Chains A and B, each alone.
Chain A
Amino acid sequence: MCGIAGILLKRDGVAVDTGRALIDMLDGCQHRGPDSTGFALYGGEEKGQLKLRFYVGSDNEAGDAIGRLKGVFREHGADIVADERVGGCYRAVVRFGGDLQRFSYAVEHAAKVLSIGESLEIVKDVGGAHDVDDVYDVHVFKGSHGLGHVRLATESDVKPEASHPFWATGFSDVAIVHNGQITNYWKMRRRLERRGFAFATDNDSELIAVYLADKLSQGVALKDALASSIDDMDGTFSFLVSTKDEIGYAKDRLAAKPMIMFENDDLIAIASEEVSLNRLFPGRALDTREPPPGSYDTWSRSI
């Protein structure tokens, strides 16, 4: 039960800081989810390097977890370029050229993975948008696109790792945010598990990330993957997905969850409520659009 937001700058040179924009949009709909807040941020990729983020907490076990992680890095030939601890998170940039899925399942055993990608970094923790920004400095982030999420935990716990965005475990640079409930979660999850995919949580939203990443890895275009998700997923959903250079949305056939978007030559911004979009353009009435039930679309950067 949540609020979602996404933004993509269509070209370089647009005077919008994506980190700041997402903080503002999420602050605008924080009433939809006071428990935790998260961001999926894209930008600053370096060839041959992976950015990894883990939730290690802040107690004594954090050091042990980081030790275990460094061991796994060594085993899989991932050389650390830089690393740091921020809040409850351990962030590492590594040079890596091996099998990503095997590597990510291996690090999963050492610590809770938040994200792995060349461009993607997921920041999420308990508290509101400003609380999370205070710890993780999301506002300094100036990337090309990103997603955001505020969460009101209903069935699963209020824990950083149970909050959104969800990274598609095993697949570089794919993240989703979701508002709603996937009711055929276990059926779909078992289907994907039989095909060898691992799940890091029992949260239904993670399923969307893995489902889409699986399609992408089979060479299916993001737009087509979104189309099939509407057929395959049961329940209520409005979700956003992002890859290294695209964002997209899908909305269930019952239109049970809100979504509204604003687009101009510079950017596309999507949110649960127009009040979030207006945070980007205060004092201005926007020409917005509510996507119809059962619809989907994608946008990519024109570079």
Chain B
Amino acid sequence: MVTIDLSGLEIRRANERIREAAAAGESVEVLNPDARHHIGVGVIHPVDIHVRGSAGYFCAGLTDTPRFHVESNVGWGLADNMYRGSVVVGGNAGAIAGVAIRGAEVVIKGNMGSRAGQVMKKGTLLCCGNANFMAGYMMYGGRMVILGQSGERLGEDMTGGEIFLGGELRSLGSDAELVDTESAEIDEVLAFLDRYEIPFKGAFRKVVNAGKKLRYGAAERQVRSIPYFGFSGDSDYWNRKIQEDVYIKSQIGRYRVRGYGGARELPHLSDLAFRKDIAMAAVGDDPVGDVEMRTKIGGKNGANPLDLTMPVLIAPMSYGALSRSAKQAVAIASGMAGIAENTGEGGMSDAQRDAAGQLIFQMLGGRLGWNIHDMNRADGLEIYISQGAKPGFGGQLMAKKVTKELAEIRGIPAGIDLRSPSRHPDILGADDLVIKVEELREATGYRLPVSVKLGAGRIHDDIKIAVKDGFDFVELDGMQGSTGAGGAEVMEYVGIPTISAICEAETALASIGRRDDIEIVLMGGLRDGVDAVKGLCLGADAIALGTAAIIAGGCIACMQCHVGQCVTGIATQDPEHEARYKSKVEARHIYTFLESVRWQIAAIVKALGYADVRQLRRDDLVALTPEAAEIAGLPYEPGLRDAGPFRAAG
């Protein structure tokens, strides 16, 4: 038994020693815990860890197989995302106990706080005392046992799993219902209580999901799609698209869902031009060889940075929205190009991990596919707050795409219309977020850069929070970004344009003198190397491409990504459709496209008279429209509007 005294020891050092001991198969005793946060996070070995006192937030979080014994109380987020293993708490637990567990056994001898078991997927959460507000909120699976009172709104918006209640039912949550119990399952619950030596004599009632909200009431009728290029129609008023919208809504009585990007005209990077006339600039045979483009991202606070051969990343897109084959193609291409790929929401696959040279692992509110082992093999971590195409909304994956295999990876029931939570269980403000960021760092030994993805909304405030909460970089996503499925109106009308996002971010960081403390990766409808250079001029440290990479890999822009029958095999989980997708061939196409981006960036940088991408400045740009001039604070040059991006000389 290794003894660790927390009085006078930093939690970071303590956790290093706990993990070392665990790896050596030694049990651990923690003295004087004094409710400190993050005790024992990241342990992945089956050892006993005794906490002699109270623990703070995220005790036993992001772990697999250890057995924790906490003598007294624990704070918020007990056993966060714990896979296998167990935690026994002698006292009370704070809010969101058992959040996102994936198989662990969590026993709380006292009471537990609000929203216990939020987004839990598998395993058992037992509370011997009283539960509180919204226990079982958005749970996807597993078993919750409450011996005392239920608290208000038990099982609020639960999707799957079972809640066994021994005490008084205060009230049921939305879409939850009481059902009869079977003796076999009660025997199992009693056996579980026996195993943890919990005496209980009463009877149980059982609460499950009532199934009223798991699927949209009416399916959207399939119609022949209008291609993107004709999407805006001939008239801007009662055009074909509007007619179609009205017609479909008259059938289904709700908003429409579609994939791809917004179709509205918005101020964008194409409204900016280079100040210098570079059309005839001599860039030589090998601009790529003449321009320094290697970019490191994420090392501001001591983590190992991403090391990119050019300031370009792949934007986050999930396995789920995209097929495994399409994700693999993107990963291969990113590896060939020496840039970073991103898992998006749906977890990490071996094929993707092996193909991508550098891979960012994304964490969302539903914690779908999130786990300590994949964190450990990632090259960067990303907390998703929102996305540019639909800020404030969670992901949507229609039932057709929620196959058995995909559901297994995400830890959810198959065949539901998955509307991912738009909020994180444990991030309700900047103050909680800072504790969450530290949890991720503690669990991975401070090796990995931690970033935040912000869909552009109130960037002026949000970016200041990002830097104050210690993120290494921010992925800033503008309104022109695409999505695999989103409410049509939301995609067109919610958010702010990509150029506004980067300009607001720069202004806000400058106002608190913190621009140098964080890096910005700009995304949201960037199409090529020209857009990339403009983004870098406006202040971004790197840019990310999503839709452009997908188009390079065979997308035909039919905007039916959400349906699940993508004819190209990209946005589908149907094996027959996916079989059409040739990952290796398309990877070559995506890679070739990325090389064209590299060449363009180098050529423009050189034509502007620089030898390094970091020399690009705002002053290299002018605005072609009054709106862009106002947003970016650049000189308005309407005379250059018809001259093309590089302007022909003379």
Tell me if chain B binds chain A: yes
- Is B431 among interface residues, defined by CB-CB distance under 8 A? yes
Residues 22-59 of B, flagged 1 when their CB comes within 8 A of A and 0 if not, give: 00000000001011110000000000000011101100
Asked if A154 contacts B94 (CB within 8 A), the reply is: no
In the complex, which residues 115-165 of chain B have their Cβ closer than 8 Å to any Cβ of chain A? Answer: 115, 132-133, 151-152
Instruction: Assess the B57–A273 pair: CB atoms within 8 A.
Output: yes
Interface pair B32/A180, CB less than 8 Å apart = no
Specify the main secondary structure of chain B where it touches its partner: loop
A31 near B434 (CB under 8 angstroms)? yes
Contact between A275 and B429, CB atoms less than 8 A apart: no
Say yes or no: A33-B133 contact (C-beta < 8 A), given A255-B113, A274-B35, A290-B92.
no
In the complex, the answer to whether B7 meets A255 with C-beta atoms within 8 Å is no
Chain B residues whose CB sits within 8 angstroms of the CB of A288 once the complex forms: 54, 73, 91-92
Whether the Cβ atoms of B113 and A32 lie closer than 8 Å is: no
Contacts of B75 in A (CB 8 A): 258, 260, 273-275
Q: Which residues of A contact B76 (CB under 8 A)?
A: 258
On chain A, the residues within 8 Å of B512 by CB distance are 158
The residue in chain A whose Cβ has the minimal distance to the Cβ of B53 is A285
Q: How far is the CA of A158 from the CA of B514 in the complex (A)?
A: 13
Given A34-B468, A257-B428, A257-B429, residue A284 in contact with residue B35 (CB < 8 A): no
Does A277 interact with chain B (Cβ within 8 Å)? yes
Neighbouring A residues of B435 by C-beta, 8 Å: 31-32
- In the complex, what's the smallest C-beta–C-beta distance from B9 to chain A, in angstroms? 13
- B431 / chain A contacts, CB cutoff of 8 Å: 1-3, 32-33, 152, 179, 272
Q: Give the CA-CA distance A189 to B53 in the complex, in Å.
A: 45
Chain B nearest CB from A163 CB (Å) reads 14
* Residue of A2, A272, A285, A288 with most chain B CB atoms under a 10 A cut-off: A285
> Do B56 and A255 touch across chains, with their CB atoms under 8 A apart?
no
Chain B min CB distance to A177 (Å): 13
Q: Which residues of A contact B52 (CB under 8 A)?
A: 285
Q: Tell which of A2, A154, A179, A255 touches B114, judged by Cβ atoms closer than 8 Å.
A: A255
In the complex, the answer to whether A275 meets B36 with C-beta atoms within 8 Å is yes
| A293 nearest CB neighbor, chain B only | B133
Distance A181 CA – B91 CA, assembled complex (angstroms):
30
Nearest chain A CB to B91 CB, angstrom units: 7
B396 within 8 A of A: no
Tell me whether B336 is interfacial, beta carbon within 8 Å: no
A278 to B36, CA, bound (A): 9
A98 at the interface (CB under 8 A from B): no
Tell me the complex Cα distance, A278–B91, Å.
15
In the complex, chain B residues 45-83 whose Cβ is within 8 Å of any chain A Cβ? 52-54, 56-57, 71-73, 75-76
Assess whether B54 is in contact with A274, with CB atoms less than 8 Å apart: yes
**Bound Cα distance from A254 to B134, whole angstroms:** 9
Tally of chain A residues near chain B (CB < 8 A)? 41
Chain B residues whose CB sits within 8 angstroms of the CB of A293 once the complex forms? 114, 132-133, 152
Asked if B72 and A285 make an inter-chain contact with CB atoms under 8 angstroms apart, the answer reads yes
Contacts A275-B35, A275-B36, A283-B53 given: A290-B430 contact, CB under 8 Å? no
CB-defined interface of A171-186 with B at 8 Å, one 1/0 digit per residue? 0000000011100000
User: In the complex, are the beta carbons of B73 and A286 less than 8 A apart?
Assistant: yes
CB within 8 Å of B: which A266-303 residues = 272-275, 277-279, 282-290, 292-293
Residues of the B chain whose Cβ atoms lie less than 8 Å from the Cβ of A180: 429
- In whole angstroms, what is the CA distance A106 to B429 when docked? 37
Q: Which of B56, B71, B429, B434 contacts A274 (CB 8 A)?
A: B56
Decide if B56 touches A284 in the complex (CB within 8 Å): no
A284, closest chain B residue (CB): B53
Q: Which of B133, B429, B468, B469 is within 8 Å of A236, CB to CB?
A: B429
Instruction: Tell whether A292 pairs with B133 under 8 Å between CB atoms, given A154-B461, A283-B34, A283-B53.
Output: yes
Does A256 sit at the interface, judged by CB under 8 A?
Answer: yes
Decide: A275 and B115 in contact? CB cutoff 8 A: no
Chain B residues with CB under 8 Å of A255's CB are 95, 113-115, 132-133
Q: Which of A1, A181, A284 contacts B465, CB < 8 Å?
A: A1
User: A74–B72 Cα gap in the complex (Å)?
Assistant: 58
A293 to B35, CA, bound (A): 22
Q: Does A155 contact B (CB under 8 A)?
A: yes
A172→B431 CA distance, assembly (Å): 31
Q: B464 in the interface, Cβ–Cβ < 8 Å?
A: yes
Chain B residues with CB under 8 Å of A236's CB are 428-429
Do B34 and A278 have beta carbons less than 8 Å apart? yes
Instruction: Please tell me if A35 contacts chain B, counting CB pairs below 8 Å.
Output: yes
Q: Within 8 Å CB of A35, what residues of B? A: 468
Chain A residues whose C-beta falls within 8 Å of the C-beta of B465 in the assembled complex: 1, 152, 154
Instruction: Say yes or no: is B307 at the interface (Cβ < 8 Å to chain A).
Output: no
Contact with A along B605-616 (1 / 0, CB 8 A): 000000000000
Complex Cα distance, B433 from A31, in Å, reads 10
Q: Please determine whether A181 and B429 come into contact, CB atoms closer than 8 angstroms.
A: yes
Closest to A287 in B: B91
Given contacts A1-B465, A180-B429, A288-B92, 9 further A-B contacts (CB under 8 A): A1-B429, A31-B438, A256-B429, A273-B37, A275-B34, A278-B54, A285-B72, A286-B35, A293-B114
13 sampled A-B residue pairs with Cβ under 8 A: A31-B438, A236-B428, A255-B113, A272-B431, A273-B37, A275-B37, A278-B35, A279-B34, A286-B72, A288-B92, A290-B113, A292-B133, A293-B132
| Chain B residues close to A by CB (< 8 Å) | 7, 32, 34-37, 52-54, 56-57, 71-73, 75-76, 91-92, 94-95, 111, 113-115, 132-133, 151-152, 428-431, 434-435, 438, 461, 464-465, 468-469, 512
What are the 9 A-B residue pairs with the smallest beta carbon separation, nearest first?
A: A285-B72, A274-B35, A1-B430, A255-B114, A278-B34, A32-B431, A275-B35, A285-B53, A278-B35
